[in-house]
């Protein structure tokens, strides 16, 4: 990997729906100068306010990561962040005309394809790294959640996904620089348990959701009435259950759920704003734990710089 900072080779454009708002979104990712980092710009708001993609600006982690500064608020940024950061992009300005990044097919596949198409350009400035000096832990004991970051020469993530589900089981996923992110992690789609869908709808979420953009896990037999309701919500003529999943799609990997959680944590930890040299071990992580860990690392990094 280059020791110089980078940006994308040309602007790239995406259109789609926001997963939770259902808003139609147009988003353009633009090249940026060194030390700009990843910045989101709300072009639909007067003055086009910006919010840097940094842990200090995280305001919400309910079913996605939201950042906000002043009037600039953008949610569900994790898939795009993982794509930019893991594909090697240090600096970019993301112009967006809605409050949420488009969900695309529920994965980062479209993002990495466009980044690969336009390529990456080296800048003059040196890339910045944070060498983890000591073991850092964040845990939510009542949920069995734990993320540990330890000193290491290279960045790696070992992740365990466990939802006490007979369908999903206990799944594992791994990332280091030898893993082909574009082929093995980026295509992994978001997921939801069937029993969560009603609650999410009542909370005003997943307005832009569809069965094409999410794996739906079904742990219990469902009635014909429930099937009809699901078909109505997702505008489908017929839906069945096969091997514990709605039969609208096939899994891209046996452990696609763990790989998607890996995609999420890669995007959330990118909110540190610099590259990590450390080993991450994550048990049952989610956006809250991921972003809290990013904030802890940021605080540790700041204390080192202040010495």
Query: Exposed (0-12), middle (13-18) or buried (19+): which is 67, by Cβ within 10 Å?
Result: buried
Q: For position 195, what pLDDT does the model report?
A: 75
DSSP string of 113-141, one letter each residue:
HHHHHH-EEEEEEEPPEEE--S-EEEEEG
User: Greatest CA span in the chain, whole angstroms?
Assistant: 65
Radius of gyration of the chain (CA): 19
Q: Are strands 38-42 and 92-96 parallel, antiparallel or unpaired?
A: parallel
DSSP string of 246-260, one letter each residue:
ETTS--SSTTHHHHH
Q: For position 191, what pLDDT does the model report?
A: 87
Residues 6+ apart with CB under 8 A from 194: 216, 217, 218, 219, 222, 230, 246
CA 21 vs CA 74, 190, 201: distances in Å: 11, 16, 11
Instruction: Give the closest residue to 75 by CA, choosing from 62, 66, 86.
Output: 66
Low-confidence ranges of the chain (pLDDT < 50): 1, 208
Q: For position 214, what pLDDT does the model report?
A: 80
The C-alpha atoms of residue 290 and residue 155 are separated, in whole angstroms, by 15
**Residues recognised as catalytic:** 287
Tokens encoding 201 = 């709808």
Let me know: does 85 contact 111? Beta carbons within 8 Å: no
The C-alpha atoms of residue 190 and residue 22 are separated, in whole angstroms, by 16
Q: What CATH code is assigned to 4-131+258-305?
A: 3.30.230.20
Q: Is this structure's pTM higher than 0.85?
A: yes
Chain region(s) in the chain for CATH 3.30.230.20: 4-131+258-305
DSSP state of 279: E
- Spell out a b/e string for 183-222, using b for 16 or more CB atoms within 10 Å of the CB, else e: ebbbbbbbbbbbeebeebeeeebbebbbbebbbbbbeeeb
Tokens encoding 140 = 């939510």
The C-alpha atoms of residue 149 and residue 280 are separated, in whole angstroms, by 4
The C-alpha atoms of residue 181 and residue 187 are separated, in whole angstroms, by 9
């Amino acid at each position: 990997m280059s020791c110089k900072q980078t940006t994308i080779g040309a602007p790239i454009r995406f259109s789609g729906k926001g997963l939770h708002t259902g808003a139609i979104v147009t988003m353009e990712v633009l090249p940026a100068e060194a030390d700009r980092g990843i910045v989101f710009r709300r072009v639909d708001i007067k003055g086009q306010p910006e919010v840097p993609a940094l842990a200090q600006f995280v305001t919400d982690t309910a079913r996605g990561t939201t950042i906000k500064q002043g009037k600039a608020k953008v949610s569900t940024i994790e898939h795009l962040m993982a794509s930019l950061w893991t594909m090697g992009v240090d600096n970019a300005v993301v112009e967006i005309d809605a409050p949420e990044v488009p969900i695309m097919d529920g994965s980062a596949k479209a993002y990495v394809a466009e980044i690969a198409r336009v390529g990456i350009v080296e800048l003059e400035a040196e890339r910045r790294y944070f060498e983890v000096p000591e073991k850092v832990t964040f845990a939510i004991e009542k949920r069995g959640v734990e993320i540990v970051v330890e000193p290491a020469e290279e960045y790696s993530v070992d992740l365990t996904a466990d939802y006490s589900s007979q369908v999903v089981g206990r799944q594992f996923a791994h990332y280091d620089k030898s893993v082909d992110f574009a082929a093995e992690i980026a295509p992994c789609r978001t997921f939801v348990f069937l029993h969560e869908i009603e609650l999410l709808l009542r909370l005003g979420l997943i307005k832009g959701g569809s069965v094409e953009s999410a794996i739906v896990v079904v742990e219990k037999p469902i009635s014909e009435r429930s099937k009809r309701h699901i078909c109505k919500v997702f505008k489908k003529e017929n839906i069945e259950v096969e091997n514990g999943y709605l039969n609208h799609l096939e899994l891209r990997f046996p452990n696609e759920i763990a790989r998607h959680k890996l995609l999420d944590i890669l995007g959330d930890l990118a909110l540190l704003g610099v590259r990590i040299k450390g080993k991450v071990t994550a048990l049952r992580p989610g956006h809250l734990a991921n972003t809290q860990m990013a904030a802890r690392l940021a605080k540790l990094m700041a204390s080192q710089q202040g010495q």
